Structure 1
Amino acid sequence: MKQIIITSTEYEIKAALLEDGVLTEFFIERDDKKRIVGNIYKGKVANVLPGMESAFVDIGLKKNSFLYVKDLREFEEKYLDGIEHSKKPIEEILNVNDNVIVQILKEPTGTKGARVTTHYTIPGKYLVLMPNNDYIAISKKIGNEEERERLKNILQDIKPDGVGVIIRTDAQGKDEKYFIKEIEYLTKQWKEVEHKSYNAQIGDLIYKDSTLVERVLRDIFSSEIDHLVVDSEDNYWKVIDYISTFSDSNLKLKVQLYHESEPIFEHYGINSELKKVLQKKVWLDCGGYLIIEKTEALVSIDVNTGKNTGTYDLESTVFQTNMEAAKEIPKQLRLRNLGGIIIIDFIDMKLEEDQKKVVEILEENLSKDRIKNNIVRFTELGLVEMTRKRTGKELSKYFLEKCPHCNGTGMIKSSEFIIDDIIMEIRFLSVDEDIKRIKLKVSNQLYAKVQSLYLDFIEKYLKDYNKEFEVLLDRSLERDKYEIVLEN
């Protein structure tokens, strides 16, 4: 059974996809952290970098966005009088202060600004409009050749000249009437974008992607979903209106309004599942576990046998753990919304046949992911290299923040390191003849160590400079904080 659960408050909307009662995907949209992927802005070129074949574009965000030359070609052809399939370098296409209309491909991350493109796309439930192209693409998940040909023929007849479309998976089996209605809606949206762009100022938002509720209905809600449950009457009618406009009317029968007093996410066990997803360690049913860690360059996943001691021999224990990991990892990638380069360190397997089975299971479970992914190879070191397209923010960005003590490293200064800083500062102050007495106030964690290991050394050192010294416990200070008080 597949269920979509949607809850909302004044400041956020959350949606969860459950498969047989297990949380498999989670989405959140907050007023202070709204998604910007898919939005279209009017920008101004801030800098052109020939050596990187790219430009930085000011679109009104905190950091300038990044536009790669390959993401500029269609704009050049249609709006800058360029030649089709041009290979001109970016410095011959754009100059500083040029205006350019761009769409967000990737959210800003860390020190990097948003990645933008001029390959505009306006998504609908069954089609994606490509206003700068003139071809028809079909989702690879539609495997039946007769159906692919049928859909292609329908769209060739109804799509306007000069625009392209991508036929989405949900279009499978749909009648022409659905596509006519959606083509009209999408082309109207694009005309509004073009109209707004003429009078827009730099940084103006020209097109905004759909709200979270609309995106869930557009991208996930289909005949495969058994129930869609919402706890807001307002959202309930938005869902019904959307279905009436774009989808099969019988989908309305699957929509339910939640009336119970218990919070809907508690009722379906979603909150407890979310807490687990935010941990680095993920336990497997067999007793093994995964360690999932995100770095700026890649995501690393380490597979361990843990409590799984097996019943037969080591090789079967290792194989069983790796097989469970191969099923769990795709689920964790979807839930955490992790993307980019992903390295999986499976436990070493001696048999090549076992390696192939593990990869097959991994591929089978990755195929359930709506986001594009690709297994590159299984290395001799037992590492699987794969990629997953980055889309939106990672789940952790909404629920976790950097530790003020370690600044996100996961490590904090040792007591010895802090005391070393204290001693250096005292040495600097000791040469000042006007200072007669030095008082050191330290936290509870530092006090015992200073008293037992460093007090005699500091006192003897300061005695040579005719200084008195006293160490005081200040329970109000945080672990790594201290205060030096000077007296004349």
Structure 2
Amino acid sequence: MNQVIINTNKFKTRAAVLENGKVMEVHIEREGEGTLNGNIYKGKVANVLPGMESAFVNIGLEKNGFLYVKDLRDFEEKYLTGIVNSGKPIEELLNVGDEVVVQVLSDPRGSKGARVTTHYTIPGKFLVLMPNNNHIAISKKIKDETERERLEKLFSEIVPEGMGVIIRTAAEGKSIYHFEKELQYLIKKWEEIEVRIKKAKTGELLYKDNGIVSKVLRDIIGNDIDEIVVDNEDVYWEIIDYIRAFSEGIPKMKIKLYTEKEEIFYKYGIQKEIEKSLEVTTMLECGGSIVIEKTEALVSIDVNTGKNIGTMNLEETVVKTNIEAAVEIARQLRIRNLSGIIIIDFIDMKVEEDKQKVLKVLEESLAKDRVKTNIIHFTDLGLVEMTRKRLGKPLSYYFQDECPLCKGTGKIKGSRAIVENIIKELKDIVSEKDIKNVKIITKSSVKEKIEEIYFDFIKSLLQASGKTIEITTKNRDLLKDYEILLES
């Protein structure tokens, strides 16, 4: 049974997707905070970079948005030159101070601002409206050629001239009744945006994509969901109203109001799965493991046999571990919401047929992912390269902060290296005549290292200038590796 579990309170809203009891996705939105993806702003050009064929646009955020020239072409046709894809360089299209309306493609991350575009899209459940593009595109997940032809013909008749749509997977098998209703709704939204454009100031938000509950209803709820369980009565009725308005009622799907005392995410085992997915290592049922580490540039995933010693030959054990890892990797990418470039180091396989078998399992598992993925087959180094589109923030954003000791490296400075820094500082203190006592406050591991190897040297260094030394530790961890207090 496939379920969506929704938990909401005054601080945050969370939604989890369960497939046959297993947590597959977790979506979180804190009060006053959410993804910027899909938001449309009125911006002002802050800088034009001809060498990078791009511009920085002030959209009222801490960091300016980044606009590539190729993401400017629709805007160029309608608002600038009137020429379709003129091929003009960006410096001939935009100047510093020009106003431009942009939509966020990807959230700011790290030191980078949001990536923005003028290829506007207004998403609905069955279709995505492209108000500045007259193209009709159909989801690749709709495989049946007869259905694709039906949808293309139907939409070519109902979409207004000068506009286009992306027909979503959820449209498969649906009638014109659903499409006309939603198309009217989305066109009205765009017309409201155009009215605001004329009056808006720089940095003003013109359109905000819906909150997490609406996104879940729009993007996740469908014929494959058997049950929605929600712990808030207002949200419960919101879901009922949405389903009545935009669907045929989905007769198989049940909607339940959760009223038990135990928090809903604990009741369904979701919190436990979240905590597991925040760890670097994920154990496999066969005894193997996968190690997932995220860096600024990419996500690396390493597969290990671990305790899986197998019952037959080595190659069979390796293939079995890799196949189980492929299924779990697809799941972990979804639940952790990892994106960008992903490198997978499966356990080495000698037979090409085995490699293809593992790749097929990975592709089939990723086919269930709503977020676009692209797999590049095994490289010459035996690694699998793939990408996953960035949508929202990773799970770790909501539960983890940067370690003040290691600054995100995952490691802290070694005790000997810290002692060497202390000695260097003490050498500078030796010449100060008014200092009588030196007190070093540090971690217990550093204190032990000083007493084991360095104490006699440090003591003699200070005694030569008439100074005494005291080394102590603090019960709590220091934010700094050590502190040196000087007493006269």
Q: What CA distance in whole angstroms lies between the structure 2 residues aligned with 1:404 and 1:230?
A: 37
Three-state SS of the structure 2 residue aligned to 1:108 is coil
Q: What residue number does 1:366 align with? A: 366
Displacement of 1:251 after TM fit? 4.8
Summarize the alignment of residues 387-398 of structure 1 with structure 2, pairs less than 5 Å apart: 387-398=387-398
Displacement of 1:354 after TM fit? 0.6
Displacement of 1:308 after TM fit? 0.2
For residues 390-445 of structure 1, what are the alpha-carbon distances to aligned partners after superposition, in whole Å with 9 as ceiling and x for unaligned?
A: 11111111111111111111011112122212111111121223334433344433
Answer whether contact 1:288 1:321 (CA < 8 A) is retained.
yes
Three-state SS of the structure 1 residue aligned to 2:33 is coil
Three-state SS of the structure 1 residue aligned to 2:260 is coil
Letter in structure 1 aligned against 2:24: T
Answer whether contact 1:301 1:344 (CA < 8 A) is retained.
yes
Q: What residue number does 1:74 align with? A: 74
Q: What residue number does 1:9 align with? A: 9
Summarize the alignment of residues 116-135 of structure 1 with structure 2, pairs less than 5 Å apart: 116-135=116-135
Answer whether contact 1:7 1:231 (CA < 8 A) is retained.
yes
Q: What residue number does 1:469 align with? A: 468
- Using the TM superposition, name which of 27-36 and 341-350 deviates more: 27-36
Answer whether contact 1:67 1:117 (CA < 8 A) is retained.
yes
Displacement of 1:450 after TM fit? 2.2
Letter in structure 1 aligned against 2:338: L
Q: What CA distance in whole angstroms lies between the structure 1 residues aligned with 2:457 and 2:246?
A: 78
Answer whether contact 2:124 2:186 (CA < 8 A) is retained.
yes
Summarize the alignment of residues 198-209 of structure 1 with structure 2, pairs less than 5 Å apart: 198-209=198-209
Q: What residue number does 2:308 align with? A: 308
Q: What residue number does 2:104 align with? A: 104
Q: What CA distance in whole angstroms lies between the structure 2 residues aligned with 1:483 and 1:321?
A: 49
Answer whether contact 2:45 2:99 (CA < 8 A) is retained.
yes
Q: What residue number does 2:352 align with? A: 352
Q: What CA distance in whole angstroms lies between the structure 1 residues aligned with 2:486 and 2:363?
A: 66
Mapped pair 1:318 → 2:303: no
Answer whether contact 1:240 1:252 (CA < 8 A) is retained.
no
Mapped pair 1:136 → 2:97: no
Cα 1:423–1:347, aligned 2, differ >3 Å: closer, same or farther? Answer: same
Q: What residue number does 2:268 align with? A: 268
Letter in structure 2 aligned against 1:322: N
Answer whether contact 1:243 1:251 (CA < 8 A) is retained.
no
Answer whether contact 2:441 2:474 (CA < 8 A) is retained.
no
Cα 1:425–1:191, aligned 2, differ >3 Å: closer, same or farther? Answer: same
Q: What residue number does 2:26 align with? A: 26
Answer whether contact 1:39 1:205 (CA < 8 A) is retained.
yes
Q: What residue number does 2:195 align with? A: 195
Q: What residue number does 2:171 align with? A: 171
- Using the TM superposition, name which of 134-143 and 246-255 deviates more: 246-255
Q: What CA distance in whole angstroms lies between the structure 2 residues aligned with 1:369 and 1:483?
A: 50
Letter in structure 2 aligned against 1:84: V
Answer whether contact 2:227 2:256 (CA < 8 A) is retained.
yes
Report sequence identity in percent. 57
Cα 1:266–1:445, aligned 2, differ >3 Å: closer, same or farther? Answer: same
Three-state SS of the structure 2 residue aligned to 1:25 is strand
Summarize the alignment of residues 221-236 of structure 1 with structure 2, pairs less than 5 Å apart: 221-236=221-236
Displacement of 1:247 after TM fit? 1.4
Q: What residue number does 1:428 align with? A: 428
Q: What CA distance in whole angstroms lies between the structure 1 residues aligned with 2:15 and 2:484?
A: 52
Q: What CA distance in whole angstroms lies between the structure 2 residues aligned with 1:280 and 1:400?
A: 13
Three-state SS of the structure 2 residue aligned to 1:291 is strand
Displacement of 1:380 after TM fit? 2.8
Q: What CA distance in whole angstroms lies between the structure 1 residues aligned with 2:481 and 2:296?
A: 29
Letter in structure 1 aligned against 2:56: F
Answer whether contact 2:435 2:467 (CA < 8 A) is retained.
no
Letter in structure 1 aligned against 2:76: E
Q: What residue number does 1:289 align with? A: 289
Displacement of 1:484 after TM fit? 2.6
Q: What CA distance in whole angstroms lies between the structure 2 residues aligned with 1:312 and 1:149?
A: 50
Q: What CA distance in whole angstroms lies between the structure 2 residues aligned with 1:386 and 1:55?
A: 29
Displacement of 1:448 after TM fit? 2.8
Q: What CA distance in whole angstroms lies between the structure 1 residues aligned with 2:437 and 2:88?
A: 72
Q: What residue number does 1:159 align with? A: 159
Answer whether contact 1:442 1:471 (CA < 8 A) is retained.
no
Displacement of 1:252 after TM fit? 8.8
| Alignment TM-score, normalising by the size of structure 2 | 0.97
Three-state SS of the structure 2 residue aligned to 1:321 is helix
Answer whether contact 1:442 1:481 (CA < 8 A) is retained.
yes
Q: What residue number does 1:445 align with? A: 445
Cα 1:441–1:371, aligned 2, differ >3 Å: closer, same or farther? Answer: closer
Cα 1:41–1:414, aligned 2, differ >3 Å: closer, same or farther? Answer: same
Letter in structure 1 aligned against 2:133: N
Displacement of 1:301 after TM fit? 0.6
Three-state SS of the structure 1 residue aligned to 2:116 is strand
Displacement of 1:32 after TM fit? 4.4
Displacement of 1:288 after TM fit? 0.6
For residues 193-228 of structure 1, what are the alpha-carbon distances to aligned partners after superposition, in whole Å with 9 as ceiling and x for unaligned?
A: 111111111111100001111111101101211111
Answer whether contact 2:359 2:377 (CA < 8 A) is retained.
no
Mapped pair 1:92 → 2:92: yes
Letter in structure 2 aligned against 1:467: G
Q: What residue number does 1:485 align with? A: 485
Cα 1:273–1:427, aligned 2, differ >3 Å: closer, same or farther? Answer: same
Three-state SS of the structure 1 residue aligned to 2:377 is strand
Letter in structure 1 aligned against 2:235: N
Three-state SS of the structure 1 residue aligned to 2:45 is strand
| Alignment TM-score, normalising by the size of structure 1 | 0.97
Q: What CA distance in whole angstroms lies between the structure 2 residues aligned with 1:423 and 1:477?
A: 23
Answer whether contact 1:103 1:118 (CA < 8 A) is retained.
yes
Q: What CA distance in whole angstroms lies between the structure 2 residues aligned with 1:149 and 1:445?
A: 70
Mapped pair 1:257 → 2:265: no
Cα 1:425–1:161, aligned 2, differ >3 Å: closer, same or farther? Answer: same
| Consecutive unaligned residues in structure 1, runs of 5 or more | none
Q: What CA distance in whole angstroms lies between the structure 2 residues aligned with 1:370 and 1:298?
A: 20
Q: What CA distance in whole angstroms lies between the structure 2 residues aligned with 1:222 and 1:487?
A: 71
